[in-house]
Amino acid sequence: MCRHLGWLGEPVPVSSLVLDPPSGLLVQSYAPRRQKHGLMNADGWGVGFFDNGVARRWRSAAPLWGDTSFASVAPALRSGCIVAAVRSATIGMPIEPSASAPFTDGRWLLSHNGLVDRSVLPLSGRAESTVDSALLAALIFDRGLDALADTTAEVAAADPNARLNILAGNGSQLLATTWGDTLSVLRRDDGVVLASEPYDDDSAWQEVPDRHLVEVDGSRVTLTALKGT
């Protein structure tokens, strides 16, 4: 239902990850190559990054390809931890900036690529929108990212049709889950990329198996099978 990307490493321009690659999020907004559900991601976008430890965001309900202001500024935005996403809204869900990932609790930036029945998610005053992804993000923040694996498995048990690809960063770490959709990892000399799909044809991209937790700490990438696998 969406495409997302995370970066952890040396500070790089946001544009180098989101706009410049031949099959980056900009292209994935209108022509994703590996998306299983939906054809386009034109219902909004968001970019979050850490600036001296402070989580900052730029979100929109418009298609990424139409935002010339972001395109002009993105080369000047540099960070060592970035979480970005383009959105394909679930039918019936509102299209508004607050519904676009990444969501935040002030410490983490979080994106959800997937779908979950809102009836299995508790209502939370910290949810930024009424969409399923925002409610799921609020639950994860309430439970703590240390419990991401358990929270993912519990939500999946409550909604067997859920797709729960989560991606989160806190400035020094990336966490991700695969549950029903694709995720790939690229280890570069200057850092690590996690992405719903490769942004180029580099043979170094590796696909993450379904129903796994991914932890990126520095240059170390650890994969752990999730409960229910």
Q: Which of 2, 5, 77, 155 is catalytic?
A: 2
Kindly state the tokens that stand for 219.
């240059």
Distance between CA atoms of 215 and 159, rounded to whole angstroms?
24
Q: Which residues contact 89 (CB under 8 A, 6 or more apart)?
A: 1, 43, 44, 95, 99, 131
DSSP 1: -
Kindly state the tokens that stand for 70.
């972001």
Residue 2 known to be catalytic: yes
Residue 14 in contact with residue 74, Cβ under 8 Å?
yes
Distance between CA atoms of 34 and 13, rounded to whole angstroms?
25
- Give SS3 for 52: coil
Q: Under the phi-then-psi rule, with left for phi > 0, alpha for psi from -120 to 50, and beta for the rest, what region is 52?
A: left
Known catalytic residues are 2
